Chains A and B, each alone.
Chain A
């Protein structure tokens, strides 16, 4: 499998960062970083990671099933994750998720037909004091009201969505 030069550089650094004979340590990071580029953990990626880390594909499979951020099917280009855990729940996180689900027409872990947006109800993401919070891919957005949510979605759709966390 070929990856971007940046990702290859990251892998090279990763594999060197563990003690000798411990390349298995790179399995989880490699899967997550590669998933960001490939879009999902494909069978091809499983085999590639197994080969590079010197483990069996079963050992990779076991890991994928365990970690909630690793997924075998592609999600949207923008993966919208709404936290509904207790701190966010206290300030409308559940209502925000329902709003998102209704307005996007998506159930949990579903993607729009154009593949632009996917939605997931997630567990605490570490933004409790600035709840309710969402993540779009890896960007945090704090104190998100339904109105603010709609503006963010609009920005995703019209391409004006920036990289900066709010």
Chain B
């Protein structure tokens, strides 16, 4: 299911089969250019496949936006070890709900994308790591995998090439941190989802101590069409260095929230006003969180003439991240949003390193007090300084993901925090300093 009406402004490339009847079935897939790309890839050298990906300017759709072709090229050849292909479907970034649709509506596209990756590095085993909450998707993907085995698209000696590829689903059990690729590998290996020391990176030492291609679900799903239609074709859908289309998840105060496939570089204001039918109840736009909750917030005025792609958002010191836009109207209590955001990171901090473990917890406590009316002026700078003490100092990116939006809220909406103080003068008393 799509859950929301498509928009005529969409460019349907990886979501092209979403609205077909029985879209998840192998027959639908085969009738619509399915498993064409893998056959083409089998005649290509690994270098040619990677070159095609580089030409496509496809960048990781999980959050970091790392060029996919380059990532695949880091996998060492002929190490004598097995290699693995892992799909990160641990979609947990607040504001993001796209991988769900890709697996629900077109699982074979994902399977084919992973097969191409596997063929590129001559891997014989792949795993799709799906967050535990997405149980129904595990059933759907398992069914698709079973279909692929039945039709000879997975298993031994594929297409007479002598190459074997087995694919499995693997469930998470509730941990945002497992979206971090090395934490995901730890989880896959039956341990706590705590990230690994890097280097070595997963391309070199990944799953089961072996070279591994690990990509986001949407990234893999974008691969078949690139191989089919060519990298240049895909790249030209988007803006320079930001190739192709991506699934954009819009939530919050718009009339038609939903997941839409749009070319990279699509303007944010057109997304809100044209694709999503404008702000609900005629309210004014206050802010947009542009790439999942880890992305620092943008004020409405910053969204004017803003193309939605990796580089344009980076210029504003925020990010396109996982493609989740949370649109907030004029009535939104930014302090409440900042609190809810830090609560999330405090809940999800794995606890491994000190600045993230203690920093998220402390920020949560201050913002809770602040939100309840116990704030005082020095708290605003303190919040900023604590976020600063986390930023760039934690073991993995989760600390940054918690610090960056926090800094964003208090710098972009300092006025709202100060307004809160006026309210609080009359309410709760400020607690004393605790000796530490």
Interface residues of B in 167-182 (CB under 8 A from A): 168, 170-176
What is the bound-complex CA distance between A19 and B125, given in angstroms? 9
Smallest CB separation, B149 vs chain A (Å): 12
A68 shortest CB reach to chain B, Å: 4
Give Cα A25 to B92, complex, Å: 21
* A90-B190 CB under 8 A given contacts A22-B208, A124-B95, A129-B3: no
Are B92 and A86 in contact (CB-based, < 8 A)?
no
Query: CB-nearest residue of chain B relative to A22?
Result: B208
Known: A55-B190, A90-B332. A67 touches B174 (CB 8 A): yes
On whether the beta carbons of B252 and A123 are closer than 8 Å, the reply is no
Q: For the complex formed, measure the closest distance between the CB of B323 and the CB atoms of chain A, giving whole angstroms.
A: 11
Residues of B within 8 A of A161 (CB): none
Please measure, in the bound complex, the distance between the C-alpha atom of A55 and the C-alpha atom of B341, giving whole angstroms.
36
Given contacts A67-B175, A126-B91, A129-B249, contact A86 B326 (CB under 8 A): yes
In the complex, whether A106 has a CB less than 8 A from a CB of chain B is no
Q: How many angstroms between the C-alpha atoms of A22 and B127 in the bound complex? A: 14
Shortest distance from the beta carbon of B172 to any chain A beta carbon, whole Å: 7
Q: Are B258 and A86 in contact (CB under 8 A)?
A: no
Q: Which residue of B lies closest to A26 (CB)?
A: B190
Q: Are A28 and B92 in touch, CB under 8 angstroms?
A: no
Question: Could you say which of A68, A86, A89 contacts B175, with CB atoms under 8 Å apart?
Answer: A68
List B contacts of A17 (CB < 8 A). 127, 166, 168, 170
Q: Which of B131-139, B361-369, B378-386 contacts A (4 or more CB under 8 A)?
A: B131-139
A7 to B189, CA, bound (A): 21
User: Cβ of A12: which chain B residues have Cβ within 8 Å of it?
Assistant: none
A66-B132 in contact (CB<8A): no
B340 proximal to A (CB < 8 A)? yes
Contact B191 A128 (CB under 8 A): no
Please give the distance in Å from A2's CB to the nearest CB on chain B. 22
Determine if A28 and B173 form an interchain contact, defined as CB atoms under 8 angstroms apart. Answer: yes
Q: How far is the CB of A16 from chain B (nearest CB, A)?
A: 9
* Residue B15 lies at the interface, judged by CB distance under 8 Å to chain A: no
| Chain B residues whose CB sits within 8 angstroms of the CB of A101 once the complex forms | none
Q: Is A3 an interface residue when CB atoms closer than 8 A count as contact?
A: no
Least CB distance, B194 to chain A, in whole angstroms: 8
Which residues in B have their C-beta under 8 angstroms from that of A65?
192
Q: Is A156 an interface residue (CB 8 A)?
A: no
Interface residue? A40 (CB, 8 A): no
Cβ–Cβ contact A135 & B133, under 8 A: yes
Which of A59, A68, A87 sits near B95, CB closer than 8 Å? Answer: A87
> A105 contacts the other chain (Cβ, under 8 Å)?
no
| Distance (whole angstroms) from the CB of B251 to the closest CB of chain A | 4
Interface size of B in residues (CB-CB distance below 8 Å): 61
Contact across chains for A129 and B251 when beta carbons are under 8 A apart:
yes
Report yes or no: A66 in contact with B192, Cβ–Cβ below 8 A: yes
Contact (Cβ within 8 A) B132 A67:
yes
A45 within 8 A of partner (CB): no
In the complex, whether B106 has a CB less than 8 A from a CB of chain A is no
Q: Does B77 reach chain A (CB closer than 8 Å)?
A: no
User: A22 to chain B: which residues have CB within 8 Å?
Assistant: 189, 208
User: Does A69 count as interface, using CB distance less than 8 angstroms?
Assistant: yes
Give the residue name and chain of the B residue nearest to A87 (CB): B251
Candidates B94, B332, B344; contact of A128 at CB < 8 Å: B94
Query: Once bound together, how far apart are the Cα atoms of A124 and B289, in whole Å?
Result: 15
Establish whether residues B251 and A128, one from each chain, have CB atoms under 8 Å apart when the complex forms.
yes
- Residue B118 at the A interface, CB < 8 A? no
Asked if A131 contacts B82 (CB within 8 A), the reply is no
Residue in A closest to B188 when the chains form the complex, CB atoms: A25
B132–A32 CB distance below 8 A: yes
Whether the pair A31, B133 counts as a contact (CB closer than 8 A) is no
Residue B390 is within 8 A (CB to CB) of chain A in the complex: no
User: Quick check: B344 and A62 within 8 Å, CB to CB?
Assistant: no
Residues of B within 8 A of A90 (CB): 251-253, 326-328, 332, 337
The 4 nearest A-B residue pairs measured at CB: A69-B174, A68-B174, A24-B190, A87-B251
27 examples of A-B residue contacts, CB within 8 angstroms = A22-B189, A24-B189, A27-B190, A28-B173, A32-B171, A67-B172, A67-B175, A68-B175, A85-B94, A87-B252, A89-B340, A90-B253, A91-B251, A123-B347, A124-B96, A124-B293, A125-B133, A126-B92, A128-B249, A129-B4, A129-B249, A129-B250, A129-B258, A130-B97, A130-B258, A131-B257, A138-B136
